[in-house]
Amino acid sequence: MEFFLEVLIGGLLAGLMYSLVAIGFVLIYKASGVFNFAQGAMVLFAALTFVSLLERGVPFWGAFAVTLLSMLMLAWAIERMVLRPLVNRPPITLFMATLGLSYIIEGLAQTLWGAQVHGLDLGISDEPFEVAGLLLSQFDLFAAGTAGLLVLALSLLFNKTRVGISLRAVADDQLAALSIGIKLQKVWMIVWAVAGFVGLVAGLLWGARLGVQFSLSLIVLKALPVLIIGGFTSIGGAIVGGLIIGASEKLAEVYLGPVIGGGIENWFPYVLALLFLLVRPAGIFGERAIERV
């Protein structure tokens, strides 16, 4: 039982790490209807820029600010050169464009900073401690806390500020939002910039966990099933989806693995997401569109 709880908790905490990446997707999808495959590349770019600056002697917050600034520039460039020319194209086209985008960002990141593996120390100890016989990781708790704060901040942004309200209007109905004078382009840029910020936070936490290196961009693959289960349009959904995926894949690996063969974590979330889709095609929190003919 203790072991089960440990696996469960470990899974839930790992799931929150997935959610961190998934939130970036949700933001962009809500505002521009784009399933942004380049989010993983953005995470890599942010982490690599940050750690490279740090290694060159730039202090923590300075590096953070410069990285954030470069994410803003990236967002601006994406809006200008990719999104604007592709307005009103089918979602599949936009998705494929983000595939191209992820190639560009990955190439750019490595051109600028090289391909070495960097360690990243955020100064958070990862010594485990025990509560009631259960092993807990400080780092994971910290990451979970960060995810929580991020969600809180984002929901404040969405619900209380002018920008947030226009964001929601755009998410709701682009045409209507346009007609009441909301500038679509501006909203998109803000959203991509915020997604860039989320990417930076995710990049720092994941980078501290894995080391900053190329495979950071692969975590996008973990975020996809999270989104399917949580729905593409709900930040809360991303959190819940992350928890479900994290916990179930760990439990499956531990309990199902010995039966059918180990190493199933790669595909298990996808099969789970697929089953989910067949039952609830829009995820738990997603809104289902009614098809009109």
Partner 1 sequence: MLYRESGQFSTSYLAEGRLFKLYQQRWGFYALLAFAFLAVPYLGNDYWFSAILIPFLVLSLAGLGLNLLTGYAGQISLGSAAFMAVGAFAAYNFQLRIDGMPLLLGFFFGGVTAALVGVVFGLPSLRIKGFYLLVSTLAAQFVVTWVLTQFGWFSNYNSSGVISAPPLVILGHDFSSPAGRYLLTLGVAAALFWFAHNIVHSELGRRWMAVRDMDTAAAVIGIPILQTKLLAFAISSFILGIAGALWAFAYLGTVEPHGFDLSRSFQILFIIIIGGMGSILGNFLGAAFIVLLPILLSNLSATFLAGVVDPGQLENLQKIIFGALIIFFLIKEPAGLARLWQAFRERSRIWPLRF
Partner 2 sequence: MMNIMKKPSVLLGALALGLILSSVSAQAANEQYFPLQSYRVGPYAAGGTGFFGGFIDYLQYVNLKEGGVNGVKFTWSECETEYVVEKGVECYERLKKGLNGAPAAATNPLSVGIAYATLERSTADKLPLITINHGRTDSTDGSVFPYVFPLQLNPYSEVSAIINYIGDKSGGLDKLKGKKIVTLFHGSPYGKETNPILELLAKKYGFSLTLLEVPHPGNEQQSQWLNIRRIKPDWVILRGWGVMNPVALKTAQKTGFPADHIIGNIWSNSEEDAAPAGTAAKGFISITTHPSGTNFPVLQDIDKTVLKAGKGNLQDAKRFGTVYYNLGVVNGILNVEAVRVAQAKFGKRPLTGEEVRWGFENIKLDDARLKQLGAYGLVQPLKLSCSDHEGGGAVRFQQWDGKQWKVISDWVQADRKLLRPIIEESSHKYAKEKGITPRDCAKES
- Which residues would be at the binding site for partner 2 (CB under 8 A)? 3, 6-7, 10-11, 14, 110, 114-121, 126-128, 135, 137, 139-140, 209-215, 218-219, 222, 249-251, 253-254, 257, 261-266
Contacts of 82 (CB under 8 A, 6+ apart): 97, 98, 101
Cβ neighbours around 168 below 10 Å, total: 15
Cβ neighbours around 88 below 10 Å, total: 6
Q: Is 92 in the site for partner 1 (CB under 8 A)?
A: yes
Query: Where in 111-140 is the site for partner 1 (CB under 8 A)?
Result: 111, 115
Q: Is 254 in the site for partner 1 (CB under 8 A)?
A: no
Based on CB atoms, which residue is closest to partner 2, 58 or 122?
Answer: 122
Based on CB atoms, which residue is closest to partner 1, 142 or 280?
Answer: 280
Which residue bears the tokens 């290694």?
55
Show the tokens assigned to 276: 């989910």
End-to-end Cα spacing for the chain: 54
Residue 219's binding partner, choosing from partner 1, partner 2, none, with beta-carbon cut-off 5 to 8 A by kind? partner 2
Q: Is 261 in the site for partner 1 (CB under 8 A)?
A: yes
Contacts of 179 (CB under 8 A, 6+ apart): none
Give CA separation, 7 vs 37, 45, 55, 139, in Å.
Answer: 30, 31, 35, 16
> Taking CB under 8 A as the rule, which mask of x and - marks residues 182-221 in contact with partner 1?
---------------------------------------x
Residue of 7, 68, 104, 136 that binds partner 1 (CB under 8 A):
104
Residue of 65, 152, 153, 274 that binds partner 1 (CB under 8 A):
274
Written as one letter, the residue type at 66 is V
Q: Which segments of the chain are extended strands (E)?
A: 128-131, 134-137
3 state SS of 46: helix
Based on CB atoms, which residue is closest to partner 1, 143 or 286?
Answer: 286
Residue 91's binding partner, choosing from partner 2, partner 1, none, with beta-carbon cut-off 5 to 8 A by kind? partner 1
Closest CA to 238 of 224, 220, 253: 224
Which residue bears the tokens 């997707």?
25
Residues in the chain: 293
Residue 46's binding partner, choosing from partner 1, partner 2, none, with beta-carbon cut-off 5 to 8 A by kind? none
Residue 155's binding partner, choosing from partner 2, partner 1, none, with beta-carbon cut-off 5 to 8 A by kind? none
Based on CB atoms, which residue is closest to partner 1, 80 or 160?
Answer: 80
Could you tell me which residues are beta bridge partners of residue 130?
A: 135
In the complex, the residues that contact partner 1 under the rule CB under 8 A are 35, 81-82, 85-86, 89, 91-93, 95-97, 99-108, 110-111, 115, 221, 224-225, 228, 261, 263-264, 266-267, 270-271, 273-274, 277-278, 281, 291, 293
